[in-house]
Amino acid sequence: MAYFVAFAEHRDLATIRARSPETWRRVRRYNLPVQLALAAAQDVMTASTDPKSVVVISLAPCQPGSAELYRWGDVVTSRMLNGTLGDLRMNPTQTLHAVDNLAMSAFAITFGNHADCLGLGGAAGQAWSGLEAVIERIEDGAEEVLLMAGDQDQASEVAEGVGIALLFSKRARPFAPCERPVRLVRIERHPMDRSSGVIPHAANGLSDLVSAVASHQSSSIAHEVPPQHTDGHSSVTVVLETCS
Amino acid sequence: MTNHRNFASQVHEADRRRVVITGMGSLSALGATTRELWDGLLANRAGIRTVSRLVASGIVVTTGGEVEAVPHNQIDRDFEIADRAIRHALRESDRNPAECGFIWSTGLDTFQAGLDDPAAFVHRSAGQCFSALASRFVEPQRMIAAACASGTQAVGEAFRLIRKGRIEACVAGGSSVMLTPFYLIGFAGLQAVAPDNGGPPSAACAPFDRRRKGFALADGAGALVLESLASARDRGANIFAEVLGFGMSQDAFDLNRPCEDGAGAELCMRRALKDAELDATDIDAVNAHATATYLGDLAEATALRRLLGSNWQRVHVSGVKGAIGHAMAAAGAIEAIVSARTVQTGIVPPTVNLIDPDEGCELNHVMGDARDVNARTVLSVSFGMGGQNAALLLRRFSS
């Protein structure tokens, strides 16, 4: 049984910088989605019994770039056209952002975490695959699982971003947003007519889910994921139970 | 159609928990089929060559492992390369995608010059490519993103889901389009790719060798159909190999370089062995990550010697990147295919371009000629930039 333990969300770098200089020092070199996801993960780890052994599931952003990376792209393209790529040197951090599930690696380094991990990519609807993987890892014996995600509205210019982190445990503990234990029961999917309104985003759907859980009063919750947060092929319902 | 198992079935539970490979498809610098890949490896041939369109750009690295079967200026090249490998695998397995899950890494977003307007910078999203590929499959549909370990993690994740009885069949693997100036410059900045040195381009990538300077970037795709043994038997499917175990770990060390003592790499290998309920003495051969980076090869060799213990001089070690380059998200999947061929045939292909193993890289390297050694159990490993490590154990199928 997978129980929600802790949740954190960040949308504002200025707040992170002001409230937690240590966190800011750790995350400032990254792009916006990674900064926000890492800051959120840092927050929820205070509720973990052993951050070194938490199983990590990290959702890569659907908009993985940054304004700086796009500027590099323009530079590469223009210099390729006039045959002057030879002496161009790119900031290695930009390459790492393009290559790696960077929040997962940076989290592991921060917490000395060598545990099992799963990196999910930046495709629409992967957040729900992440929740399914949480249930599977707990069923298979993990004590705690971290699900983290950061994303932004656009990658090519200064954008709004969201970073979230959810900590799950096999043991029931009160989940702060509703002050009761909340159990993640299952994810239900059903084929739907292909939706054209999908807005790929790693974190927004999970943020909405937690808001729905916090405002719900009944013991059984069936959260129907809005079509824009799905993969466009299947409807998704997240089934949860609150315990007294 | 559903991919979830019917638990009322009369098939023995022991069979349900065994996972086998029944289809494989690959595109690489050695060709557009798995046969061409395998034959090229056995012949100790490298598919890495000078990429003419890069020469004109003035870039410092002009060699790579290009998939020539799909034109470089095809705008949906990322989709096409993946789709061809997937179709090959499904055809070989005689499987319908509507009865399979899909766990795949489309790797990295593609950044390239526009075709109609070369001055335009074109960004193709790896996520959108995944969604387009996934639309033919049933759940689960998971896009894996674990850097160079992605392909191996995709196969391992599919293996776990089938072994635990959560699904019946799955297409797993990965694909990458890397041979663009954007990535060549980026990886050159990380000192990970071998620079042009005036030598033959086919010798650019020399894993574990004293002369190694890094890898050659490559395009490619590798697709595997995994299913339960019960399902394969019910269908009368041809079985290439059995997957026995999988392990993941994180270095938690550095974003750019591996832990020099190979501790993170060793940990994922030990987890795979534990998962398979095997001992290191059961391993006949290793399909190494073997990127030809100075520190990466040293760390890997150190980790393997420690894992294999006093047995390390008996276990045959080879890697494919000297022949086809480093296809990032596809690499682990292609290497799982090569490992499956190895256990099927018993033959370990050579590490192309390995002539003079470096100090610290001592292993029982397969050099020059393939070895027909009746290899039955192979460990296939991938170590991602950022420190994500993955290991798979494959064994010759025996009923």
Residue A217 distance to chain B (closest CA, Å): 31
* A73 falls within a domain: yes
Kindly report the CATH number assigned to the domain that includes residue A99. 3.40.47.10
| Contact residues on chain A for B255, CB-CB shorter than 8 A | 96, 100, 102, 105-106, 109
Q: What is the pLDDT of residue A172?
A: 95
| Contact residues on chain A for B105, CB-CB shorter than 8 A | 121
Contact A77 B140 (CB under 8 A): no
Q: What is the pLDDT of residue B114?
A: 60
Q: Is the pLDDT of residue B309 over 60?
A: yes
* A184 falls within a domain: no
Kindly report the CATH number assigned to the domain that includes residue B319. 3.40.47.10
* A149 falls within a domain: yes
| DSSP labels, B298-342 | HHHHHHHHHHHGGGTTTSEEE-SHHHH-B-GGGHHHHHHHHHHHH
B358 or B7, which is more confident? B358
Quote the CA–CA distance of A239 and A187 in Å, as a whole number.
Answer: 6
Average pLDDT of every residue of chain A:
92
Residue among A74, A129, A200 minimizing CB distance to B142 = A129
Q: Show the DSSP H helices in chain A as ranges.
A: 13-19, 21-27, 32-44, 67-81, 92-99, 102-111, 126-139, 204-215
| Cis amide linkage into residue B140, ω under 30° from 0 | yes
Range of B119's domain? 19-399
Contact A122 B386 (CB under 8 A): no
Size of interface A-B (CB pairs under 8 A): 204
Q: Into how many domains does chain B fold?
A: 1
SS3 content of chain A, % helix, strand, coil (to 5): 40, 25, 35
Q: What is the pLDDT of residue B98?
A: 96
* B7 falls within a domain: no
A157 or B137, which is more confident? B137
| Contact residues on chain A for B139, CB-CB shorter than 8 A | 189, 234
Contact A124 B142 (CB under 8 A): no
* B294 falls within a domain: yes
State the CB neighbour count (10 A cutoff) for residue B259.
Answer: 22
| Contact residues on chain A for B387, CB-CB shorter than 8 A | 105, 108-109
Quote the CA–CA distance of A166 and A5 in Å, as a whole number.
Answer: 7
Q: What is the pLDDT of residue B35?
A: 98
Q: Active-site residues of B: which are they?
A: 148, 289, 326
Backbone angles phi, psi at A35, to 5 degrees: -60, -50
Contact A95 B144 (CB under 8 A): no
Q: What is the pLDDT of residue B118?
A: 64
Q: Into how many domains does chain A fold?
A: 1
Q: Which two structure tokens, joined as six digits, stand for B333? A: 């999947």
Quote the CA–CA distance of B311 and A38 in Å, as a whole number.
Answer: 42
Contact B145 A76 (CB under 8 A): no
Q: Is the pLDDT of residue B179 over 70?
A: yes
Q: What is the pLDDT of residue B8?
A: 34
**B128 Cβ contact partners less than 8 Å away, ≥ 6 residues apart:** A123, A200
Residue A212 distance to chain B (closest CA, Å): 25
Q: What is the pLDDT of residue B394?
A: 98
* B51 falls within a domain: yes
Residue B240, Ramachandran bin (φ over 0: left; ψ between -120 and 50: alpha; else beta): alpha
* A232 falls within a domain: no
Decide if A48 contacts A173 (C-beta within 8 A). Answer: no
Residue B252 distance to chain A (closest CA, Å): 4
* A62 falls within a domain: yes
**B149 Cβ contact partners less than 8 Å away, ≥ 6 residues apart:** B248, B332, B382, B383, B384, B388, B389, B390
Q: Is the pLDDT of residue A225 over 90?
A: yes
Residue A58 distance to chain B (closest CA, Å): 9
Quote the CA–CA distance of A164 and B187 in Å, as a whole number.
Answer: 30
Quote the CA–CA distance of B216 and B324 in Å, as a whole number.
Answer: 8
Decide if A105 contacts B250 (C-beta within 8 A). Answer: yes
Strands A161-169 and B101-105: unpaired
**ipTM score:** 0.96
Say what percent of chain A tops pLDDT 90. Answer: 71
Contact A62 B127 (CB under 8 A): yes
| Contact residues on chain A for B113, CB-CB shorter than 8 A | 77, 80-81
Residues recorded for chain A: 244
Residue among B105, B187, B248 minimizing CB distance to A117 = B248
pLDDT digits (tens, 9 = 90+) for A18-71: 999 999 999 998 989 999 999 999 999 999 999 999 999 999 999 887 888 778
Contact B140 A126 (CB under 8 A): no
pLDDT digits (tens, 9 = 90+) for B224-280: 999 999 999 999 999 999 999 999 999 999 988 998 899 999 999 999 999 999 999
Q: What is the pLDDT of residue B124?
A: 83
Q: What is the pLDDT of residue B6?
A: 38
* B344 falls within a domain: yes
Mean pLDDT of B346-362: 98
Q: What is the pLDDT of residue B237?
A: 98
Q: Which two structure tokens, joined as six digits, stand for A162? A: 């969201």
Nearest residue in chain A measured CA to CA from B143: A121
* B11 falls within a domain: no
* B222 falls within a domain: yes
Contact A109 B253 (CB under 8 A): yes
- What pTM does this model have? 0.96
pLDDT digits (tens, 9 = 90+) for B360-369: 999 999 999 9
Residues recorded for chain B: 399
Decide if B193 contacts B184 (C-beta within 8 A). Answer: yes
Quote the CA–CA distance of A182 and A172 in Å, as a whole number.
Answer: 8
* A6 falls within a domain: yes
Range of A92's domain? 2-173
Q: What is the pLDDT of residue B119?
A: 64
DSSP for residue B101: E
Nearest residue in chain A measured CA to CA from B329: A99
Q: Is the pLDDT of residue B147 over 80?
A: yes
* B87 falls within a domain: yes
Q: What is the pLDDT of residue B349?
A: 98
* B181 falls within a domain: yes
Quote the CA–CA distance of B349 and B92 in Å, as a whole number.
Answer: 23
